[in-house]
Structure 1
Amino acid sequence: MCGIFGTLNYEYAVSEEQVFAGLLHRGPDEQGCFNSRSVNLYHTRLAIQDLSTSGQQPMKYNGLVIVFNGEIYNHMELRKKYRLEAVSNSDTLTILMLFERIGMKMLEEFDGMFAFALYDTLNLRLYLARDRAGKKPLYIYQKGESFVFSSELNILQQVCKPEINYAALADYLYLGHHYRKATPYHLVNELENGHYVVIDTLPGQAQDICWFKIEEAYRNDRQLPYEDALMQLDQHLNRAVKRRIESADLDVGSFLSGGIDSGIVTAMAAQQQSRLKTFTVKVAGSFDESLLAEKVARKYDTDHTVVEIDFSDLSNDIEKIISNHGEPNSDNSAIPSYYVAREAKKYITVVLNGDGADELFGGYRRYVPFKHIDFFNPNQFTKISSGILAKILPVANQKQSLYTYCYRLLKFASYTDLVKIYCSASSDLFVGFEDVFIQKPTMLAITSDLERYNSYAISPLKKLLLMDFESMLFSRLLPKMDIATMAHSIEGRSPFLAKEVLDFAPGLPDHFKIRNIQTKQILRDLGKRYLPEALIHQPKRGFEIPLQKWVDHELWEVMQHYLFAGDALYPKIIRKEFIEQLIARRISISDERRAKILFCVFSLEVWHKSL
């Protein structure tokens, strides 16, 4: 795992020391650079595969130069398929050899996570590419014919000093994260998952090409008997886990919660690697998953560690945790993710996780009603009756209660606007409070995508799963995990985001995923082959974070400092009186939603002050 940075036709001098310092946490083992004409490439390396000097970057091969962040797990299989021979086992070298053979068609062959910049010195073309899910980040600053790109926004901002995009920040507050290409800056975009950009370096002309669309997989139904689907899923996941273990020259560990996703991954990994190192989080005051996780650890005789987190340093660490992202981040689960990665680094450098399983197989409770009702196209009776009930019922305050679940269901069932429906069903921040915005959210990109998905002849559940993959997973959850792990120079690998799984899962029938009110049914049935019975029917929990308590107690002093600052940024976007009334509890809103909005605005302020 590494950090990459580069410039093309950039008129200002870039300090090599500044770049390396800004990305050192992503690659503390080695640093290197390449300079030729108008192209400059920088690389910081976290050595995991091919630990010898033959894996150093920037890597050169027959007129090609690359800086690469990620892993190609099936690269040795591809060497055999295309009869590529080399002394080094570096996957980076495989990319260069395969590019020479078939060009960018090679991306379709890769099972991996990656972001890379490949410079063809003979044809004077620069290629910037990302993997199918967007596991590894890449941000691009473009001003005319000038380009600067980076693994992280912080160093890009320090070098380019782009202007703040207030319209993008309004969209962030409404949705809770920056959607797809959007960033908080003008002239800076995130390269989307499944895309690559090819730039003709002389005129500086760029073309953005989509090489993978998961929506196409959602539009192709798989007509499989259930037992055949279960068998194929088992094979795909075992292959994915095996590849992610074998393609590391260091020991691979596994995050092990009390759920079925990480449990299945751990069970499969333990069959590949003896005394697998496993890690479970134990948080005081929340559900103790360590007891369930230990059942799996004992079953497979893993080298198990329970990481206890008490958040005693939270008020001191919170600004660093948020500012690491380089953009506002409302996902408060970034906090425990940061601490877990920090503790895991004491034992391991490569760790498996269950990321992507919920979005592909229907793991969240909110997916259940979409299996049975088309909320994207509600009838008039549903809209009117839901709206009336939502207005007269008491506000829901208990986060995990059935009443809260039904209350939120009624709220988003009453909306007709697709963006309101989606935002209410997912982030649930400012929906219903649109009048507090001074800088109005435009939500143009997400509106366009929602309208396109809604026009497809697919089920409401598939529309929501597709949207969550492209929005929640790509723009929020994967960046959170990348930043948390790379802040501590640790690499996270996600078998559920393997090439074969991404091709397979979207086309499965809805009832393979949601059966009556049971979530991710096919994974639960797969879990019966590997896991203790006690884990099979456990509900989705994630990190149970006491956000309400933090906002009112542990974080209140530091949040007050930011929210009441005379130079605060948010009053340029939303009315300050709304936040003041929210703090004073003069707004009719649940305690959980109040805390989420305040944390979302607080994150905006921390990011802004860190510039």
Structure 2
Amino acid sequence: MCGIFGTLNYEHAIAKEQIFEGLLHRGPDEQGCFNSHPVNLYHTRLAIQDLTASGQQPMKHNGLVLVFNGEIYNHMELRRKYDLMATSNSDTLTILMLFERIGMKMLEEFDGMFAFALYDTLNLKLYLARDRAGKKPLYIYNKGMAYVFSSELNVLYRLCRPEVNYAALADYLYLGHYYRKATPYHLVNELENGNYMVIDTLSGQAEQFCWFKIEDAYRNGHQLDYEESLLQLDQHLNTAVKRRIESADLDVGSFLSGGIDSGLVTAMAAQQQSRLKTFTVKVAGSFDESLLAEKVAKKYDTDHTVVEIDFADLANDIEKIISNHGEPNSDNSAIPSYYVAREAKKYITVVLNGDGADELFGGYRRYVPFKHMDFFNPGALTKISSGFLAKILPIANQKQSFYTYGYRLLKFASYGDLVKMYCSASSDLFVGFEDVFIEKPQMLAISADLERYNGYSISPLKKILLMDFESMLFSRLLPKMDIATMAHSIEGRSPFLAKEILDFAPGLPDHYKIRNIQTKHILRDLGRKYLPAALIDQPKRGFEIPLQKWVDHELRQVMEQYLLAGDALYPKIIKKSFIEQLMARQISISDERRAKILFCVFSMEVWHKSL
């Protein structure tokens, strides 16, 4: 795991010390650079594979130069397949050798997480690429013939100073994160997952290619019966876990909650590595998953640690936690993720997690109604009756209650507009409060994607799973985990985002994922083979974050300093009176939603003040 930075045809001087300082947390072990006009490449290394000097970057090979962030877990298999011989076991070298053999078709062969820049000095072309899911970030500044790219927005902003795109902030507030390639800056885009770019270094002309589309997998279902699907899932996940352990020259640990996803990963990993180090989080005032996790730890004799987090320093740390992202992000689970990664680093450098399982196998409660009803195309009677009931019923305040579940269901069933429906079903921030916007949200990109997905001949459940993979997972959850882990120089590996599983899971029939009202049905059945019975039917909880309490107590003072400041940014986008009334509890809204909106706006203010 590393940090990469580079420029092409960029005439402004950039000191390498500034780059290395900004990306040091992503790669504290080694730093290197390649400078040959008009291309400059920089790399900071967190040594995981091939710990010798032969793994250093930028790596040169037969006229090719590469800076690479990530891991190719099956690279030794690919060496055997393509008869690639070398003394070094570096996956970076495998990329270079395979590029010589088959060019960018190599991307389709990789099981891994990656963002890289490959400079072909013979053909004068620069290649920028990202993995299937987008686990490893890459941001690109482009003005005319000049390009600057970076693993992190903070570094790119400090060195290039792009202009803030204030018009796009309304979209952020409405959705809760930046969608797909969008960023808070003009001339800066995120290279999307499953894409690569080829830039002619002489002309500056660029062409972008999409080499992986998960929507294709959703449109092409397979006909496996349930028992065969269960067997293949078992094989694919075991292979993914095995690769992610074997492709590390350091010990690999595992985050272990009381849930199915991390439990399966841990069980399979423990069969590959004796005395696997496992970590469970215990948060005061929340459901204690450590008792369930301990059952798995005992079953597989892991070296188990319970990490207790009390958030005692939250008020002092919150600005740093938010600023690390380099852009506004309303996902308050970034807070516990930051603390968990900090504690895990005391014991381990590489850790497995269950990221992606919920979005691929139907893990959220809100997926259940999409299995039984088409909320993408509700009839007039459904919209009218749902809207009427949502207006007359009392506001739901209990976060995990069945009433709250039903109340939210009525709300997003009442929307005929796809963007409103999706935002209500996912982030649930400003939907229904559109009149408070001074700068109206445009939501053009997400609207176009929703319309396209809705035109596909696939089920409503597949549509919402596809949308969440491309929006919530790519734009919010994976960046959150990348920033949290890399802030502490720790690498997170996600077996559920393996090549074979991304090809396999979308094509499963809906009833393999949602059975009546049970989520993740096929994963739960697989869990019966590996896990204690007490875990199988546990509901998904995630981090039960006491956001309402934080907003009213621990974070109240710092939030008031930002939200009531005379030079606050948000009054240019939404009415200040709305936020003031929210803070004074003068708006009819649930406590949880009130807290989420205030935190969303607060996150934007912290980001803006940090520029």
TM range (shorter): over 0.9
Deviation, 1:314, is 0.2
Which residue of structure 2 aligns with residue 400 of structure 1?
400
Cα displacement string for residues 203-223 of structure 1 (whole angstroms, at most 9, x for unaligned residues): 000111100000000001111
Alignment of 1:525-536 (within 5 A): 525-536=525-536
1:50 counterpart SS class = coil
Which residue of structure 1 aligns with residue 79 of structure 2?
79
Which residue of structure 2 aligns with residue 410 of structure 1?
410
Cα displacement string for residues 341-371 of structure 1 (whole angstroms, at most 9, x for unaligned residues): 0000000000000000000000000000000
Aligned partners of 2:333, 2:398: CA distance in 1, in Å? Answer: 18
Alignment of 1:331-346 (within 5 A): 331-346=331-346
Which residue of structure 1 aligns with residue 562 of structure 2?
562
Deviation, 1:33, is 0.3
Cα displacement string for residues 266-290 of structure 1 (whole angstroms, at most 9, x for unaligned residues): 0000000000000000000000000
**Residues 1:204 and 2:204 aligned together:** yes
Alignment of 1:270-419 (within 5 A): 270-419=270-419
Which residue of structure 2 aligns with residue 105 of structure 1?
105
Which residue of structure 2 aligns with residue 512 of structure 1?
512
Aligned partners of 1:255, 1:359: CA distance in 2, in Å? Answer: 18
Aligned partners of 2:440, 2:36: CA distance in 1, in Å? Answer: 45
2:567 counterpart SS class = coil
Which residue of structure 1 aligns with residue 446 of structure 2?
446
Deviation, 1:167, is 2.1
Aligned partners of 1:222, 1:293: CA distance in 2, in Å? Answer: 34
Aligned partners of 2:379, 2:565: CA distance in 1, in Å? Answer: 46
Deviation, 1:169, is 1.0
Cα displacement string for residues 413-453 of structure 1 (whole angstroms, at most 9, x for unaligned residues): 00000000000000000000111111111000000000000
Aligned partners of 1:438, 1:149: CA distance in 2, in Å? Answer: 33
Aligned partners of 1:569, 1:187: CA distance in 2, in Å? Answer: 21
Which residue of structure 2 aligns with residue 185 of structure 1?
185
CA contact 1:166–1:439 (8 Å) conserved in 2: no
Cα displacement string for residues 240-289 of structure 1 (whole angstroms, at most 9, x for unaligned residues): 00000000000000000000000000000000000000000000000000
TM-score, with structure 2 as normaliser: 1.00
Alignment of 1:529-548 (within 5 A): 529-548=529-548
Deviation, 1:26, is 0.1
TM-score, with structure 1 as normaliser: 1.00
1:529 counterpart SS class = helix
Alignment of 1:108-119 (within 5 A): 108-119=108-119
Aligned partners of 2:93, 2:548: CA distance in 1, in Å? Answer: 49
Deviation, 1:393, is 0.4
Cα displacement string for residues 186-242 of structure 1 (whole angstroms, at most 9, x for unaligned residues): 000000000001000100001111000000000011111100000000000000000
Cα displacement string for residues 286-308 of structure 1 (whole angstroms, at most 9, x for unaligned residues): 00000000000000000000000
Which residue of structure 1 aligns with residue 491 of structure 2?
491
Cα displacement string for residues 115-173 of structure 1 (whole angstroms, at most 9, x for unaligned residues): 00000000000000000000000000000110000000000000110111122211000
Aligned partners of 2:345, 2:305: CA distance in 1, in Å? Answer: 12
Which residue of structure 1 aligns with residue 605 of structure 2?
605
Aligned partners of 2:518, 2:277: CA distance in 1, in Å? Answer: 31
CA contact 1:131–1:193 (8 Å) conserved in 2: yes
Aligned partners of 2:504, 2:160: CA distance in 1, in Å? Answer: 41
Aligned partners of 1:224, 1:99: CA distance in 2, in Å? Answer: 35
Alignment of 1:42-81 (within 5 A): 42-81=42-81
Which residue of structure 2 aligns with residue 267 of structure 1?
267
Which residue of structure 1 aligns with residue 587 of structure 2?
587
The letter for the 1-side match of 2:397 is N
Which residue of structure 2 aligns with residue 577 of structure 1?
577
2:530 counterpart SS class = coil
Which residue of structure 2 aligns with residue 173 of structure 1?
173
1:147 counterpart SS class = strand
Aligned partners of 1:118, 1:27: CA distance in 2, in Å? Answer: 19
The letter for the 2-side match of 1:516 is N
Which residue of structure 1 aligns with residue 468 of structure 2?
468
Cα displacement string for residues 375-426 of structure 1 (whole angstroms, at most 9, x for unaligned residues): 0000111000001000100110010000000000000000000000000000
The letter for the 1-side match of 2:409 is L
Aligned partners of 1:5, 1:33: CA distance in 2, in Å? Answer: 9
Which residue of structure 2 aligns with residue 217 of structure 1?
217
Q: Please give the root-mean-square deviation of Cα atoms over the aligned residues, in Å.
A: 0.4
CA contact 1:323–1:606 (8 Å) conserved in 2: yes
Aligned partners of 2:356, 2:540: CA distance in 1, in Å? Answer: 13
**Residues 1:126 and 2:126 aligned together:** yes
Q: Percent identity?
A: 87
2:67 counterpart SS class = strand
Alignment of 1:27-42 (within 5 A): 27-42=27-42
The letter for the 2-side match of 1:21 is E
2:304 counterpart SS class = strand
Aligned partners of 1:453, 1:182: CA distance in 2, in Å? Answer: 19
Structure 1 portions without partners, runs of 5+: none
Aligned partners of 1:105, 1:235: CA distance in 2, in Å? Answer: 25
Aligned partners of 2:159, 2:170: CA distance in 1, in Å? Answer: 25
The letter for the 1-side match of 2:299 is K
**Residues 1:12 and 2:46 aligned together:** no
Aligned partners of 1:375, 1:50: CA distance in 2, in Å? Answer: 50
Which residue of structure 2 aligns with residue 157 of structure 1?
157
1:415 counterpart SS class = coil
Equivalenced residue count is 611
Aligned partners of 2:461, 2:340: CA distance in 1, in Å? Answer: 32
1:148 counterpart SS class = strand
CA contact 1:334–1:480 (8 Å) conserved in 2: yes
The letter for the 2-side match of 1:174 is Y
CA contact 1:280–1:305 (8 Å) conserved in 2: yes
Aligned partners of 1:79, 1:167: CA distance in 2, in Å? Answer: 48
2:19 counterpart SS class = helix
Deviation, 1:586, is 1.0
1:408 counterpart SS class = helix
1:282 counterpart SS class = strand
